[in-house]
Structure 1
Amino acid sequence: MDEPYFIPRGGHPPQTDLLTGRAVFTEAYAVIPKGVMRDIVTSALPFWDKTRVWVIARPLSGFAETFSQYIMEVAPGGGSDKPEPDTEAEGVLFVVGGEITLTLAGVEHRLRHGGYAFLPPASQWTLRNAGTGPATFHWIRKAYQAVPGIPTPDAFVTNEADVPAVAMPDTDGRWATTRFVDPLDVRHDMHVNIVTFQPGAVIPFLETHVMEHGLYVLEGKAVYKLNRDWVEVEAGDFMWLRAFCPQACYAGGPGRFRYLLYKDANRHMALRPFR
């Protein structure tokens, strides 16, 4: 059975709908709820055929500083033979619906729901939807921070079903993280994980840390503490959290609460940010 990941469908609300929504943009965090991911806010990308994109994070003053995140919807027969224009960019692909064919360094991989690919900078890859229905996946991009004497990490392809979740300490497994790379592997300067809370589980303190976050809710609902505010979120919502933004959550149920999590990691802090 397919995992019940939320997939945006676009469309347009009727004139009779209320304007009130849950979108929030502050100096410390932003919430982009699923209801704003409509047809009129999609983008097209160079060299991508039969593809539309919801851009939910981008480097911007007062917003995401270290990454961009796209929700890609590729129609049958669509895709790209020149997908990534930046040779210094690394990427993660995570499939939430349909199936894609990823050709990486000449090797073909078929990825369906839960499929995950890490693409180091200067990777040679193409992507196509050879199926009969649309394929939807997240594409997270970051400028790789190379370190002299430390090699660039290798590309890999896996599926979340093949990666055991690791329980957080003292939680009896009610809060767990699916980690696709070893957090102590300093070749990697970003982590893209899946975090799972069982109903009633909590982050029991206000996390306040240097890592910037992007959180896309794959499944369920919760209340999230973001800076000074408690915010309700559900499957299909995206949250951006600035570095040091206090955060916690309570998963109220009735089902589990899961999100795709980005964070930057394993690098010294830049002391000359304006050069």
Structure 2
Amino acid sequence: MSHLFDRENVDVAWCPGCGNFGILKLIKEVLEELQADKTNTVIVSGIGQAAKAPYYVDANMFGVLHGRAVPVATAIKVANPHLNVVAEGGDGDMYGEGGNHFIHAVRRNVDIVHIVHNNMVYGLTKGQASPTSQKGFETKVQVNGVVNEPFNPLAVALSLRAGFVSRVSIGNAVHAKEVLKAAFKHHGYALVDIFQPCVTFNKTNTYHWFKDNTYALDENYDSSDFNAALGKAFETMPMPLGVIYQNKNGGATLEESIRKEDTPLYTAMHDTVKIQELFERY
């Protein structure tokens, strides 16, 4: 089945069975079903296997340095608030090299969708432990197993009062699609942490492992309850899937806070006084 956001004549450089295929399909379907304008959509990614995804989507994309997708996405959104902006990449790219930018994007409440492919390993560089690797996970580098507790992106985002915090698994694509749609509709920063297996370099956290160690939040769960969300963020084995927390009245976004006018910034770049005032406010 072809999609509006399919990019033609492009070889996809992922291993057969990789969870990235499902996420790529999911992103394109969500953009199409939400009737997104491809000329008005920008996907920014860093370095890594997951970060290749925007190269396979027929929309505007910006490939940047390792871990730097979020600040570039932030700049794009501030420059033109009318754009649909996505920052996309892997758990190492976003929580390791880009961890500081992740933190400050939450603080600033920039209106972007932050999609993180979380396979608990560095796939591009052949299988080292990533920030989200489980304790005891053995690799060619961590030969005696990972000794640190895994980074908890949900708890970090919640501690900084993110307006939309979610986790899904590509093993349940129907559920994941509904959550991703909700993220795109949310006004403000939205985190979507997506569990997906690396079939080549992570033989532990497989499709079956994610199925056995996760569960979907039921329909009675109140995603507006911050304290309940914080408790869910710390649950392990099984880990909850769904919209963990959403604050629909989360206050002004970054671009609303620092911009007094609605005109895209690039149309006023000749006005150096305005640009200087903007940077001083920021």
Structure ranking higher in strand proportion: 1
TM-score, normalised via structure 2 length:
0.30
TM-score, normalised via structure 1 length:
0.30
Structure ranking higher in helix proportion: 2
